[in-house]
Amino acid sequence: MTYFDNLSSGNPTGSDLEKSMCIGVVEVDRIHAELAGLIERLDEVPQALTSSESVASLLWELRQVLTAEFDTEEQLMRSSEMTLEQIDDHVLEHNMLLTLVIDASIGSLSHDPMTARQLYQSIRNHVLEHTMKHDSDLGQ
């Protein structure tokens, strides 16, 4: 059984974070797996500051993957039976998540940058909460 067979059967083989982000929609779960991998890479350099080249580069990749994820989900929502209010709530949270990552990038230029560990915990918590609160609706 391949990795993506496992994903489509709701049985991902990746990390706990990746498993927690699996909603049972293959195109979303592929991007969630990529996103989980990037978030976990932040925790591989816990003491690195957001001003460092490695963290700045990860933040840039996170923005690209989040944008792709949101585009995919929003396309799915528009072709679903979700109400406009549900779609608006979900899209609003996407914008907030993207702002969180952009703010971290901007914050990296300040005199008080975060550590990669702090950033990892913050992004991980926000993304998990979002997955449970909103993305899980896409898998129903």
* Residues of the shown chain interacting with Fe ion in the complex, contacts defined by CB under 5 A: 73, 134-135
Q: Using CA atoms, how far apart are residues 31 and 48, in angstroms rounded to an integer? A: 25
Closest separation in Å from C-beta 83 to Fe ion: 16
Residue at 1: amino acid letter: M
- Six token digits for residue 40: 């976990």
- Six token digits for residue 51: 């001003």
Which of residues 117 and 126 has its CB atom nearest to Fe ion in the complex?
126
Closest separation in Å from C-beta 78 to Fe ion: 13
Which of residues 18 and 135 has its CB atom nearest to Fe ion in the complex?
135
Which of residues 29 and 73 has its CB atom nearest to Fe ion in the complex?
73
Which helix or strand (DSSP H or E) is residue 78 part of? helix 53-78
Closest separation in Å from C-beta 94 to Fe ion: 6
Instruction: Find, among 26, 35, 23, the residue nearest to 69 by Cα.
Output: 35
Closest separation in Å from C-beta 90 to Fe ion: 6
Q: Using CA atoms, how far apart are residues 138 and 72, in angstroms rounded to an integer? A: 11
Which of residues 61 and 137 has its CB atom nearest to Fe ion in the complex?
137
Q: Using CA atoms, how far apart are residues 96 and 86, in angstroms rounded to an integer? A: 16
